[in-house]
């Protein structure tokens, strides 16, 4: 059963230049113990989708009435977008839902020790005593591989190295045992060895805690390493989604194919890379029809610039929104 169910999420921002569509008809589900990778170029709407799950978008954001985000918790269902005041929102802000960011400095207040902040968070979200919260915090720091956890507990974020800060942030996010963890480019700023350690750690913890993880990255290599399923986003829409191996080995959508062709192949390092031609259109000049048609090598002259392709299944739990793809997942 899914823990998190997003249905028809539509999000716009009011700006001086007019309404910007950032997310359009986005739907996905994540089950317990499952990692959904959300991948796409910059500006595709990954971060604002994640922020919607915690209602963290600024006040110029507008959700369409049919947008729905539901959490299925043991205590009952939660309709996230209908939560109003800070007391109700606690459940999605560090309670049942927790988030880790690319820049861990942003997650810790500079003038408070790591330990103080971890304990404070536990006191807000659980009924633990201060003493129990402190010992759990040290234990979580140990779990994420921070040596001398007892000492680190009393230090400030700036006293830790980048990799250690990232681990401390993960420890803090996981200490309240969230049901849903959102990780927005959590390893992008790390060097590759530490990145691999952090990814392994997250994979272990997901299974152990039975969490659902939304893992956001622009890096398909990272997706291949951590995700069970992947959703590919372009200009606010999910264009393809499915089991990670299937999507990476037999991509159907021209955008997914383009992302994969732009990666260096280990068995053909001398071959030139083929980037996706053209630029991402400005959100103020959103293409009509299929949002990818202005850059698509498979564009169909009679349809793609005027109609929006519906989601079609091309395999078990594998769907694609593209007029050029038939039900076998191939382009004509
Ligand atoms: N507060 C905001 N006001 C106006 N536009 C925004 C705001 N936040 C994000 N956007 C726009 O929404 C789109 C999606 O942004 P984002 O989710 O950050 O992309 P990604 O994380 O995929 O790189 C972008 O076009 C961005 O400029
Ligand atoms: Mg982002």
Judge contact between 282 and 211, C-beta under 8 A.
Answer: no
Flag whether 140 is in a domain: yes
Domain boundary among 144, 177, 210: 177
- Please indicate, yes or no, whether residues 270 and 127 belong to a single structural domain of this protein: no
Flag whether 191 is in a domain: yes
- Please indicate, yes or no, whether residues 319 and 307 belong to a single structural domain of this protein: yes
20 in contact with ligand 1, CB cutoff 6 A: yes
Flag whether 108 is in a domain: yes
User: Which DSSP state fits 264?
Assistant: P
Instruction: Check residue 60 and give its pLDDT.
Output: 97
Residue 149 above 90 pLDDT?
yes
222 in contact with ligand 1, CB cutoff 6 A: no
What is the number of the ligand closest to the CA of 50? 1
Flag whether 67 is in a domain: no
Residue 249 above 80 pLDDT?
yes
Number of domains the chain is built from: 2
Cα of 48 vs centre of ligand 1, distance in Å, is 6
User: Which DSSP state fits 252?
Assistant: -
Instruction: Say which residues have a Cβ less than 8 Å from residue 326's Cβ, sequence separation at least 6.
Output: 332
Instruction: Check residue 104 and give its pLDDT.
Output: 66
Ranking 12-16, 45-49, 140-144, 152-156 by mean pLDDT, the lowest is 140-144
pLDDT in tens, 81-134: 999 998 899 989 888 999 887 776 677 899 999 999 999 999 999 999 999 999
Domain boundary among 146, 177, 208: 177
- Please indicate, yes or no, whether residues 320 and 221 belong to a single structural domain of this protein: yes
Shortest-distance Cα residue to atom 26 of ligand 1: 43
- Please indicate, yes or no, whether residues 184 and 325 belong to a single structural domain of this protein: yes
Instruction: With cut-offs at 50, 70 and 90, classify the pLDDT of residue 286.
Output: very high
Instruction: Check residue 7 and give its pLDDT.
Output: 98
CA atoms in the 13 A half-sphere facing the CB of 257: 17
In percent, how much of the chain has pLDDT > 90?
68
- Please indicate, yes or no, whether residues 231 and 303 belong to a single structural domain of this protein: yes
User: What's the CA dihedral at 51, 53, 58, 62 to 10 degrees?
Assistant: 120
- Please indicate, yes or no, whether residues 193 and 276 belong to a single structural domain of this protein: yes
Instruction: With cut-offs at 50, 70 and 90, classify the pLDDT of residue 288.
Output: very high
Residues 132 and 237: their CA atoms lie apart, in Å, by: 44
- Please indicate, yes or no, whether residues 165 and 268 belong to a single structural domain of this protein: no
Residue 67 above 70 pLDDT?
yes
Q: Across the chain, what does the average pLDDT equal?
A: 91
Instruction: Check residue 133 and give its pLDDT.
Output: 97
What is the number of the ligand closest to the CA of 101? 2
Q: What is the CATH number of the domain that holds 193?
A: 3.40.50.300
Mutate to test the pocket of ligand 1, among 21, 22, 232, 236 (most ligand atoms within 8 A of CB): 22
Shortest-distance Cα residue to atom 12 of ligand 1: 22
Flag whether 7 is in a domain: no
Cα of 49 vs centre of ligand 1, distance in Å, is 9
306 in contact with ligand 1, CB cutoff 6 A: no
- Please indicate, yes or no, whether residues 300 and 190 belong to a single structural domain of this protein: yes
The 10 Å Cβ neighbour count of residue 218 is: 16
Residues 241 and 311: their CA atoms lie apart, in Å, by: 10
45 in contact with ligand 1, CB cutoff 6 A: yes
Report the pLDDT averaged over residues 265-275.
76
Domain hosting residue 162, numbered range: 104-177
Instruction: Check residue 284 and give its pLDDT.
Output: 87
Domain boundary among 148, 177, 206: 177
Flag whether 186 is in a domain: yes
- Please indicate, yes or no, whether residues 111 and 184 belong to a single structural domain of this protein: no
Flag whether 312 is in a domain: yes
Task: At 47, list the tokens.
Answer: 């971060």
- Please indicate, yes or no, whether residues 184 and 317 belong to a single structural domain of this protein: yes
Residue 265 above 80 pLDDT?
no
- Please indicate, yes or no, whether residues 204 and 236 belong to a single structural domain of this protein: yes
What is the number of the ligand closest to the CA of 48? 1
Instruction: Check residue 206 and give its pLDDT.
Output: 85
In percent, how much of the chain has pLDDT > 70?
98
Instruction: With cut-offs at 50, 70 and 90, classify the pLDDT of residue 271.
Output: confident
Residue 150 above 90 pLDDT?
yes
- Please indicate, yes or no, whether residues 236 and 135 belong to a single structural domain of this protein: no
Shortest-distance Cα residue to atom 6 of ligand 1: 13
Q: For tokens 């610039």, what's the residue? A: 305
Report the pLDDT averaged over residues 212-241.
94
Cα of 281 vs centre of ligand 1, distance in Å, is 13
Flag whether 229 is in a domain: yes
């Amino acid at each position: 059963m899914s823990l998190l169910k997003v249905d028809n999420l539509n999000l716009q921002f009011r700006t001086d230049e007019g309404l910007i569509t950032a997310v359009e008809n986005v739907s996905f589900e994540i089950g317990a113990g499952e990692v959904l990778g959300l991948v796409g170029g910059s500006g595709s709407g990954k971060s604002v989708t994640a922020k919607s799950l915690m209602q963290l978008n600024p006040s110029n954001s507008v959700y369409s009435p049919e947008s729905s985000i539901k959490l299925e918790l043991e205590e009952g269902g939660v309709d996230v977008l209908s939560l109003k005041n800070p007391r109700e929102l606690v459940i999605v802000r560090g309670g049942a839902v927790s988030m880790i960011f690319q820049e861990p400095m942003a997650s810790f207040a500079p003038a408070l020790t790591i330990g103080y902040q971890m304990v404070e968070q536990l006191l807000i979200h659980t009924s633990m005593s201060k003493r129990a919260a402190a010992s759990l915090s040290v234990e979580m720091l140990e779990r994420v591989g921070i040596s001398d956890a007892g000492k680190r507990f009393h230090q400030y974020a700036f006293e830790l190295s980048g990799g250690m800060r990232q681990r401390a942030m993960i420890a803090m996010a996981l200490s309240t045992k969230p049901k849903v963890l959102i990780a927005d480019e959590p390893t992008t700023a790390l060097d590759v060895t530490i990145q691999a350690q952090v990814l392994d750690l997250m994979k272990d913890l997901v299974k152990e805690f039975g969490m659902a993880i939304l893992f956001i990255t622009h890096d398909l290599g990272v997706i291949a390493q951590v995700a069970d399923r992947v959703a590919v986003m372009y200009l606010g829409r999910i264009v393809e989604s499915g089991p990670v191996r299937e999507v990476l080995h037999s991509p159907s959508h021209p955008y997914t194919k383009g992302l994969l062709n732009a990666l260096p192949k280990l068995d053909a390092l001398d071959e030139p890379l083929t980037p996706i031609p053209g630029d991402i259109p400005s959100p103020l000049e959103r293409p009509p029809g299929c949002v990818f048609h202005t850059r698509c090598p498979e564009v169909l002259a009679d349809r793609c610039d005027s109609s929006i392709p519906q989601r079609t299944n091309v395999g078990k739990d594998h769907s694609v929104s593209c007029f050029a793809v038939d039900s076998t997942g191939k382009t004509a």
